[in-house]
Amino acid sequence: MSMFSCGWLWLYAGAILMLMEILAPGFVIFFFGLAAATVGLVRFAVGDAFTLTWQLAAFSALSIVYILVLRRWVQSIFSGRLLDTKADFENDYIGRLGKVTEAITPPKPGRVEIGDAQWTATADGAIAAGADVRVISQNNLTFKVKEIN
């Protein structure tokens, strides 16, 4: 049996196509390679009765079947799943403590330091620099704060 017989050529083509999937996104070429490898294995099993016409027909049919049936399933295995963390990033700072670095005099906002960052802050009443505050609400990147006594 020659290394360049029809069955081996199908297996080589299948391996090359499957490896080409690494270079091309979309996860489609892999199934053409899988179809080619399947045709190569069937060629070994059946022998000369599996003529070139039947090989090409089988390759076409198997490519379509593999793409339609297996693509979504295999893609879900490789892409993974998202976890629903239910993180509430909009209200992440509510309740945190900070210190006023620039006095807040309504309606003019001031600045507060929360953690290691400075933020724009508003309040219902005037709050002097250096006062300790608690975040009570958030509007985009502006916090509404309340002085802690």
Residue 50 confidence (pLDDT): 87
Separation between Cα atoms, residue 6 and residue 63, nearest integer Å: 18
pLDDT tens-digit profile of 83-109?
666 666 667 889 999 999 999 999 999
Separation between Cα atoms, residue 38 and residue 12, nearest integer Å: 11
Residue 37 confidence (pLDDT): 95
Helices (H) and strands (E) in the chain, counts: 3, 5
| Domains of the chain, residue spans | 6-79, 92-147
Residue 89 confidence (pLDDT): 60
Residue 87 to residues 93, 96, 127, 139, 140, Cα–Cα distance (Å): 12, 16, 31, 17, 16
Q: Give the up-direction half-sphere exposure of residue 50: CA atoms within 13 A in the CB hemisphere.
A: 19
Residue 127 confidence (pLDDT): 95
Give, as one character, the DSSP assignment of residue 91.
G
Separation between Cα atoms, residue 14 and residue 9, nearest integer Å: 8
CATH of 92-147, one of 2.40.50.140, 3.90.1260.10, 2.40.370.10, 2.60.120.10: 2.40.50.140
Separation between Cα atoms, residue 136 and residue 23, nearest integer Å: 51
Mean pLDDT of the chain, nearest integer: 87
Residue 90 confidence (pLDDT): 64
pTM (global) more than 0.85:
no
Separation between Cα atoms, residue 55 and residue 47, nearest integer Å: 11
Residues of the chain predicted below pLDDT 70: 1-4, 78-90
pLDDT tens-digit profile of 13-22?
999 998 888 8
